[in-house]
Each structure stands twice: as structure tokens, then as C-alpha cells.
Amino acid sequence: MAGDIVRYAVIGTGMMGHEHIRNLALVPGAEVVAYADPSSEQRWWTRQLVPDAEPFADVGELLRRARVDAVVVASPNHTHAQVLEAVFESRLPVLCEKPLCTTVADALRVVERAERHPALFQVAMEYRFMAPIARLLEEVRSGRIGRLRMLAIREHRYPFLPKVGDWNRFALNTGGTFVEKCCHFFDLMRLITASEPVRVYASAGMDVNHLDEVYDGQRPDILDNGFVTVDFDSGARALLDLCMFAEASRNE
């Protein structure tokens, strides 16, 4: 660190990368000094946000040349495993956007490597730190509601937003809707119940969103609604009720 300044690099400068850059601009002592993205268009847009930061087309080149103190990984989901291989070699603190990976095998490899990483490694599960969730945890853990037996989480919202190269229209890239969007909720289920899942039941479909879209001859395969029930080893049971075509509804 240079004095009291923490120098950040942001890898992946699409919508979430830009959100991280804007948030870091609000943090005293934080400065984005470098960013990497293979898209020249995205690098141009990012230059409008941080004109003094150094752009890179390649993650490896950024890690070799840029003088940074910490790294934010905000590249598309399916790239995380490969990007993190390079980032781990830097021995720098890392914040990786959710979801960690799109396959179980990749996630297990990253977890094993993160456990040996000499610096902080964190996944951006920010729902854990929201004030309403903190209050809910306080109420549950104080015993105010008695023994927790049932937990219900509902998200009724708008469809997935457009992203660079339309990568989020395909489960191969996102890990699927219940990984891309709902990893927050399954994480909260574990946090609130303070237990681990033992059984999962689900029913879901792609019934409204993206049905008339085609990208390079391929149709999207993103689920847009579903119910998921999770049984936990504590005896608690949790339900996720998801609808991705409920924009402007009472429950959005």
C-alpha cells in the first residue's frame, strides 16, 4: 500500500465491474489503479469512469505489471475458475463476485486453493451484511421466534438484464438461474438456519422470458420461475419462491 491508499485492480468491467468501481470511489483511501477486460469497448467505457487507471486486455499482464494491493474479480461467472488461477499466484487479497464458479468441480478446486491462499479471499455475498438481514439474524438467534422450523424466501422481480456479449442468456455460462441469481438465497438459508442441507426438491421452468430471443443461432435456456424446498440437518425446512417475470408487481 502507498501510504494510506489501497490500490485496487478490477478484473471484468461489465455491469458488476463498473458497480464495484463506483462503490470503491466512495470508500476513503481506496483507488482503482488498473483494470482488465478483453473487450476494447468495455475498456473504453471504463476509462470514462477511471481515466487515470491503467487498462489491460489480459489478466496475466495486469498482475505482472500493475502495482496493486487488492483484486476484485467481476468477470462472467464461467471465467472465474481460470481467472482465479492467475490471481492466486499474485498472493493478493481477493474479492470474487458471486457465484464462485459454475460447476461443482471448479468450486471445489477454488475452495481448496483459497484455503492455502496467504491473503484474504472473500466471495461477494453482500446480502449477508444488509441491515434487514442482520436484524433478522438477531431476532432468530436471540430465540425470539422460538425454534426455527420453517423459512420462506420470495423474490419476484424483472428478467435478467442484458450483459456484454449476452453471456448471461445461457446456463453454460451462468451456472443456471438458481446459481447465478439464487446463490444469495441458498447462502442465507444456511446462515439463518445455522445448519447444512440434506435434501433438495425443486420444480422450475422457462415459461415467459427470452422465448423469442436467438443469439448466434442458439436459444436461451435460462429458467425464469420455480420453487425450491431445502431440508436442513437441524430439522428446519426452507422454501425459495422465484419469479423472474414479475416486474412492476406488488411483490417486486
Element at 59 (helix H, strand E): helix 59-65
Q: Does the structure show a pLDDT above 80 at 249?
A: yes
One domain, residues 92 and 137: no
Domain boundary, last residue among 84, 108, 124: 124
| Average pLDDT over the chain, rounded to an integer | 96
Residue 250 in any domain: the answer is no
Domain match, 167 and 230 both:
yes
Q: Where does residue 17 fall: left (phi above 0), alpha (psi -120 to 50 degrees), or beta otherwise?
A: alpha
The CATH number of the domain holding residue 170 is: 3.30.360.10
Beta strands in the chain (DSSP E): 6-11, 30-36, 54-56, 70-73, 94-96, 121-123, 150-156, 197-205, 225-232, 237-243
Does one domain contain both 138 and 79? no
Q: Is the same domain home to 89 and 13?
A: yes
CATH number at residue 67: 3.40.50.720
Residues 118 and 132 in one domain: no
Tell me the CB-side half-sphere exposure of residue 6, using CA atoms within 13 A: 15
User: Does residue 250 have a pLDDT over 90?
Assistant: no
Q: What is the pLDDT of residue 1?
A: 56
Predicted confidence at residue 59, as pLDDT, reads 97
Q: Which of 124, 143, 177 is the last residue of a domain?
A: 124
Residue 251 lies in a domain: no
Q: What is the mean pLDDT of residues 117-138?
A: 96
Kindly report, residue by residue over 147-186, the tens digit of the pLDDT.
999 999 999 999 999 998 999 999 999 999 999 999 999 9
Q: How confident is the model at residue 3 (pLDDT cuts 50, 70, 90)?
A: low
Whether 249 maps to a domain, the answer reads no
Range of the domain at 23: 6-124
How do residues 46-95 score in pLDDT, each as one tens digit?
999 999 999 999 999 999 999 999 999 999 999 999 999 999 999 999 99
Asked if 222 and 204 count as a contact pair (C-beta separation under 8 A), the reply is no
Report if residue 40 sits inside a domain: yes
Give the residue from 125, 126, 145, 124 showing the smallest Cα distance to 136: 145
pLDDT at 2: 56
**Contact predicate 9/66, CB 8 Å:** yes
220 and 239 housed in the same domain: yes
| Residue 60 within a domain | yes
Q: In terms of domains, do 59 and 135 share one?
A: no
Pair (142, 73) in one structural domain? no
25 and 54 in a single domain? The answer is yes
Cα angle for residues 192, 152, 102 (degrees, 5° grid): 70
**Residue that finishes a domain, picked among 124, 156, 179:** 124
- Same domain membership, residue 227 and residue 185: yes
Domain count of the fold of the chain? 2
In a domain, 116, yes or no: yes
Whether residue 190 is predicted with pLDDT greater than 60 in this model: the reply is yes
Residues 64 and 98 in one domain: yes
- For residues 123 and 186, the answer to whether their CB atoms sit within 8 Å is no
Q: Are residues 85 and 151 in the same domain?
A: no
Strands in 237-243's sheet, in edge-to-edge order, are: 150-156, 237-243, 225-232, 197-205
